[in-house]
Amino acid sequence: MNLNRISNMVINIVMRKMINFGVNKGMSAVSKRNRRADTPDAAQDRPMTAQEAKIANDAKEAAKRARKAARVAGRF
């Protein structure tokens, strides 16, 4: 192996980890009710209702399934 190939492998690994980290953070931000930018600040201070908690939990589960599907698709 030459130095160019090794450096490309290291760069690809680092980029993959950074992109996955960003995607995971973005999905977490989307699925959390109190991080939405479209709600007023006063509404963010109140606790979640049962319905809002269920929606947030469903979004987290959907994100997990999407990540698993992406991993499986990447293997093919």
Res. 15 pLDDT band, cuts 50 70 90: very high
pTM of the model: 0.43
Is the predicted pLDDT of residue 27 greater than 60, yes or no?
A: yes
Q: What is the dihedral of CA 34, 71, 74, 58, to 10 degrees?
A: -40
The Cα-based distances of 28 to 13, 60, 61, 63, 67 in angstroms read 22, 7, 11, 8, 12
Is the predicted pLDDT of residue 45 greater than 90, yes or no?
A: no
The Cα-based distances of 16 to 7, 52, 75 in angstroms read 14, 33, 14
Write phi, then psi, for 63 (nearest 5 degrees). Answer: -65, -40
Beta strands of the chain (E only): which ranges?
none
Res. 56 pLDDT band, cuts 50 70 90: confident
